[in-house]
Amino acid sequence: MTITLHSLAEGPRSAPVLVLLNSIGASTAMWDPQVAVLAERFRVVRIDSRGHGRSPAAPPGQPGQPCTIDELARDVLAVLDRIELDLGVTRVHLAGLSLGGMTAMWIAAHHPQRIARLALLCTSAHLPPAKARFDRAATVRRDGLGPIADAVVQRWVTPGLAARDPGLVAALMAMLRGTDAESYAQCCEAIATMDLRPDLARIAAPTLVIAGSDDPAIPPEHAQTIADGIAGARVEVLGNAAHLATVERSGEVARLLLEHFCPPDGAGPGAGGATLSAGYATRRAVLGDEHVDRAIANTTELTALFQDFITRYAWGDVWSRPGLTRRDRSIVTLAALTSLGADHEIAMHVRAAIRNGLTPAEIGEVLLHTALYSGLPRSNRAFAIAQQTLAELDASVPITSDRQ
């Protein structure tokens, strides 16, 4: 079920909206060091996860039905709906740390039209072993947060900072202990059941990934995995920082977020990359390394400028824009190629459509629908090409048509 989360808005109502999501066990007070600076440029909306901060606790979960990351994401999406009603803003910037970053990734992958730019801090797309998370959920449900509090807070800041500032440690401890035990347990289950790695290629928003060099909870290699999966994503590793980088490296985090969410003119929300690096990243994600490597190897002096052009503008700009998912772009592309009779391109984009999440049956529906508006002969030919291509891919679900 969806929980009505507490949110706190600061900054000018007319400014772009920046939504901040918290870590498991922490309230959005973890963003306090950045808010004053960010609120000068943005309408900053902080959202407490279920049972965290001032958000209501979640009711007990059903036995055998662990909470999932998409449930937590739908809690946040309900707040985005409220923002849209209040401000008329349909797309926001989104930043999340740890569990907040996981939730942000799910939203960016499944509702890309709602996210302009994305920042992911000290987070992971997959955090095994699941048993450890389920065991922690069981402990918290049985005994409350007390038994785990010391170990959790020790991971939030480096030993040096903890020794220098016992008052900070006490405040973090109070924040953790103020979290509802059932809600914390449900968030543990969401992390245990989460694997966002297959979704990363669907994220089209320009993305910044920040890690702490000394983060024992989620080491920096998790950040690189995320960046490798999201076309054009950039990684920044902060030295001398543990899990709550917003607390330990507050100024540096604020600077990185401002730079990312206030891009130079021409690179604002909705802008594509129009760079070779972004183009090659997206092109490889959609078409596969083998295809791109073959195209590069076959480049000649005559075709070099054209290869640069399509990589930079077709893939680095249009295909990298956040306004449509790659899945949606594959649907449009297959329909357009069929309509044009561009037989030499169809097989390549059938393969791309499979990589972008379409099923063979859905590809068949696209070609059938296109037949109504582009004519039977061209769709008939497209079906033949698609059938042969899917057979080569050993697709498990056949597509059908009323081929003549």
The angle at the Cα of 324, spanning 39 to 299, to the nearest 5 degrees, equals 115
For residues 125 and 197, the answer to whether their CB atoms sit within 8 Å is yes
At 272 the pLDDT is 43
CA–CA distance, 269 with 266 (Å, rounded to integer): 9
* pLDDT averages per 10-residue partition of the chain, 404 residues: 94 95 97 94 96 96 90 97 94 97 96 93 97 96 96 97 96 97 98 95 91 97 96 94 97 94 56 60 85 84 82 82 84 94 92 92 94 89 90 64 42
At 276 the pLDDT is 66
Classify domain 276-392 at the CATH class level: mainly alpha
Nearest Cα neighbor of 200 from 230, 228, 173 is 230
Does the reported pTM lie above 0.75? Answer: no
Q: Please give the distance of CA 169 from its chain centroid, rounded to a whole number.
A: 31
At 187 the pLDDT is 98
At 399 the pLDDT is 52
SS3 7: strand
What fold, for 7-261?
Rossmann fold (3.40.50)
User: Any idea where the domains of the chain sit in the sequence?
Assistant: 7-261, 276-392
At 151 the pLDDT is 96
**Same fold? 7-261, 276-392:** no
CA–CA distance, 398 with 404 (Å, rounded to integer): 17
At 1 the pLDDT is 81
